[in-house]
Structure 1
Amino acid sequence: MRSRSVLTGLTMAAALAATLTTAPAQATAPVPADAHKSGGDRPHCPQLSEELPWHGANRAKLQRTIDERGTCSPHWRGGKHRPVAAFDWDNTIVKNDSTDATIAWALKHDKILRPKSWAATSKWLTPAADRALTEACGSDVPVGRPLPTSRNAACADEILQVRGEAETMGGEEAFAGDWNHRRTVPEYAWVPQLFAGHTVAELRSYARAARDEALAAPIGSEQKVGTHTVPAYGRYYDQQKDLVRTLQKAGFDVYIVSAGSEPVAEEWATGVGIDRAHTLAIRSVLEHGRITTATEGCGDVPAGQGEAIPYIDGKRCVINQEIYGIKGAEAWKKQDRRHRIAIGGGDADTDVTFVGDATGTHLVLNRNKPEIMCRGYDDADGRWAVNPMFIEPLPRKADPYPCATKGFTHPDGSLGPVHRSDGTVIPDQDDTAYGEGGEVAGSRAHGAV
């Protein structure tokens, strides 16, 4: 099946129109004849496993929404009215970052191609970062040929530092300028730009190799890339695999909405039964079949250099546009209940807008990110479910989240208080859903796809 990653321009528009009318449905179990009956035991109704531990009442909250909206609901309509669940990918469905795992694998196997100009890879890359990358990676390798990053630790280090910390190894800012901080972040947009020159199939193959390597590595293991020490392992969370399966059996359309590169997210998502048509991420513009440094836009923001990616409000835009067919500037706005997801799940502030849009359950995995944790703990509608990470959960955050002063990131990057939908300010929140001793909670130590 052809990926949306390879669609641009008029082809992209035509594919979107087709998706809105004939989007491929995920496999759904047949609906039993008695599924809509109320009261009594309903053994055919899809249920989350009781053998996999969840924090507090979180399983019950999720199950309530499954029962309210799925095939066992007396209001079930099915067809084009199927309820939607959408989840972030990295550290939400899978432990650790699949994009970073793919970059690490690519650096170890000399898969980054030398650009004609590092400055041209991102409109926000600073002269300091351009100099650092040029000096570290050199100019001996012809443009478009692989950089020897497996042997050149300095080059690998600069790439990892710019991607991970938005700075050079010398501590200078790697990105500068103006961007909407609720629609993009340059170091995220830079990831697919790093793979410019490759085909989508090539990038998928790198993601697949990185995934297989990460799943085989022991939990907690690390690896050296350049002089950086980075995680060597990844795992699909057993609870999330069970949740996705249960939702699909209950008639939900389940989507991944990631701020990573789309071919990478697509390759990993197959491990939990989610196909390419249901995987939304940063979509590169192609030229002659190869990835470029340009990315597709969203809503009324055209294709560009990463001005609009699935990041914070950008994830809402992508959901509204790609799932509900809402176009133009309207795609950035919160929609009526009929055009919003039933369940949303994420782990970071990049997910807070679409998770908050959910009408049934807002699932949050605790990685100590301020805005989403403020909203999760405030639990304004009683449907937020905050859970420690299932593998190596973080310990309790000592200080309260600064919700009342600087938990919210404004479009210009400044910080301010987090407001509820009624305009009131959320007070600072204590951390109450955390791990003890980094235990593995209900996930197999060497689980595979």
Structure 2
Amino acid sequence: MRIRFGTDGVRGVANRELAPEHALALGLAAARLFGGPLAVGRDTRLSGGMLSAALAAGAASGGSEVLDLGVLPTPGVAALVGELGGAAAAVISASHNPYPDNGIKFLSREGRKLPDGLERELEHLVESTFDDRPAGAGVGGIKRIEDAAGRYAGFLAARIRPRAGGMRVLLDCANGAAYRVAPLAFERTGADLTIVCGDPDGTNINRGCGSTHVEGLDVRGHDVAFAFDGDADRVLAVDETGSVVDGDRIIAILARDLKERGELSGGVVVTVMSNLGFFKAMEGLNIPVEVTPVGDRHVAEAMRKTGAAVGGEQSGHIILSRYTTTGDGILTALALLEVMVRSGRPLSELARVMEVYPQRLINVRVKDRSVAGDGAVRRAVRSAEERLGKEGRILLRPSGTEPVVRVMVEHVDEEVCRTVCEEVAGVVERAGA
């Protein structure tokens, strides 16, 4: 059997590209690699129980005790694995993808995503026969961890617990893994809560809701709304006027607050896709910024190296290193609510920390992604850079998984932004035909 890890674990349509036998093989491989208890959590997809059971059976067959956390956000699994004595953890989730998809990703005992080297070891072990499996007392057991959601809510409350009595908060749980934990965590703040999309049926996760459909949230009568994705490692906010506050602005708000309180260590870390307005805002606040390729793994690694207190992506995957090792949507939402409570300022006012520059993104399908280095394409990019000047920027990024080159342009003038992006995309399309 052959299994390959992508940027966020192993993914595919459940029962096709990712079948129970794949999960069983990964469980066996994990038992051999980590040699200790394996914590396992999942989101609310219909296929989650099937794949979780298969993974647990494989790990137990390999001699590892399995700590079954049930439905729990990815950051919840990351938070509890060490506390429960796990050697590693596995999460069954496809994050913001539709319900037919599913995935399996592994975390270290510290709750961090595995480095590439360990994922390659798992891939190699999956192809092994495992003829020497244990028997008798050597077989691993499967232990259900009761009230994992309550434990994780306690973890969150011990780190950030704003006194939000009188505030009206809307939570969109995406019919996903946050549906129990998010209400538990926010009830402890004293806020007046409204919960939407908190009734998962196995097929409605992310369907027309959550952080991928945040524009449709009706915030009338609320001070703020928070929308999570399927495994709750991301969050986007909506202010009291109905305007979406994305990951860039959330990071900018939190970074400015930390700096004003003298608690911002190591600056901030974001990806190349962050809005130009974010970089200008950080420059104005004299906050150093480290820029990484797209992907939360790159952000987390850079944060460890620089000691940055906050980092993340425009999508709302945000890491607050003082409290956790991975992106945590619920924790981020609590941190943002705390800034609102402490400052006494509405989110719409806080979000003015940065100006969002017009941004245009075109995905150009090509035969070969190396076309990004073509001479005509390079000349078009240089010409665009001259035209955009200091008030804009252009970024060409070949996709890591598709025959696509992404052309992204930002500029203070929306028409210039659109025109330049379309012109360069045209050159890429012709060169890649």
Considering fraction of residues, name the structure with more strand: 2
Higher relative contact order (CA 8 A, sep 6+): 1
Please give the TM-score of this superposition, normalised by the length of structure 1: 0.31
Normalised by the length of structure 2, the TM-score is 0.31
Larger fraction in helix: 2
